[in-house]
Structure 1
Amino acid sequence: MIYDTGHKVLLILLVATILTTLALCLVVAVKQQAAPQRAVIHHTASGDVSAKTIDAWHKARGFDGNGYHFVIRADGSVEKGRSLTKQGAHALGRNDYIGIALTGNNNFTEAQIISLKVLLKDLNVKEIEGHHKDCPSNGINLKKIIQLVKDK
């Protein structure tokens, strides 16, 4: 079908309006995700395992996959667990917090600590808690990390 110039202009304006609306929706979604967040820090009480391995463990326990949103490996790499749009399954009463697990037990690497600090800052986390007294274990100075993130 051939459109006259007037219709072409209207079509272009319509497409531009739709694209602008979609772009604005994306900006709103990003801003909502960038809003201040809360996080609970855990440790896996295991060796250096992948987010995929934790996913299998949690499924075997009857959960809907990996309960953590992020897993930080010994080399400092950050692996995605469950989507941030999905509620966590990692801390009773605080599953609306972002769940971050460090692999290991009481032997966290400097690379893990650095990645944790960067991740917390990137996620705009304002409130940080440990899972409980012995988690993420005394291998991490959680109070120091909380202060460093607040000082950003």
Structure 2
Amino acid sequence: MRTITLLIIHCSATPEGKSLSAEACREDHIRHRRFRDIGYHFYITRDGEIHRGRPLEKVGAHCLNHNAHSIGICYEGGLDIDGLPKDTRTLAQQGSLLALLRELRRRFPKALIVGHHDLNPMKECPCFNCVKEYTDL
């Protein structure tokens, strides 16, 4: 297994009122970004369902210079109706994300939980402060 030092949270940059299913995200990554598979290891849809992406043993394609030692988690959403950054997580997504992070921290206890923005300040993603929200996890 890879050495995991980061659990990186992303948003799909999908506006409120629009949908991007896990399969549609996978298809976009393969067709338009020319990835072999979806770049994330997990994708959480608005209904709170956690969809598996790349196997944990495989390097993701979600955060430049950090893919080799991280796990990528993405939630559907992240933009308001006008396309501006906003924490659009539903209660179901918040619960699923928390449960997933707890499980991953059990498996990788030294891994830091960060948002994409924390590693690339040019990005707004995931549109909420992960470090602050999960500091006690």
TM-score bin (small chain):
0.7 to 0.9
1:10-32 CA-partner distances (Å, limit 9, x unpaired): xxxxxxxxxxxxxxxxxxxxxx6
The answer to whether structure 1 residue 129 and structure 2 residue 117 are counterparts is no
**Partner secondary structure for residue 41 of structure 1:** strand
Question: Is the contact between residue 114 and residue 131 of structure 2 (CA under 8 Å) also seen in structure 1?
Answer: no
Distance 1:94 1:114, change over 3 A: same
Higher relative contact order (CA 8 A, sep 6+): 2
Query: Of the candidates 49, 68, 74, which is equivalent to residue 20 of structure 2?
Result: 49
**Partner secondary structure for residue 85 of structure 1:** coil
Q: In percent, how many aligned pairs have the same letter?
A: 38
Question: Cα RMSD over matched residues?
Answer: 2.0
How far did 1:142 drift? 1.4
Higher helix share: 1
Which residues in structure 2 correspond to 1:61-100 (within 5 Å)? 61-96=33-68, 97-100=70-73
Unaligned runs of 5+ residues in structure 2 are 79-85
Query: Of the candidates 86, 92, 101, which is equivalent to residue 111 of structure 1?
Result: 92
The residue identity in structure 2 corresponding to 1:63 is F
How far did 1:108 drift? 1.2
How far did 1:146 drift? 2.1
State TM-score, norm by structure 2: 0.75
State TM-score, norm by structure 1: 0.68
Unaligned runs of 5+ residues in structure 1 are 1-31
- Bigger Cα Rg: 1
Question: Is the contact between residue 47 and residue 93 of structure 2 (CA under 8 Å) also seen in structure 1?
Answer: yes
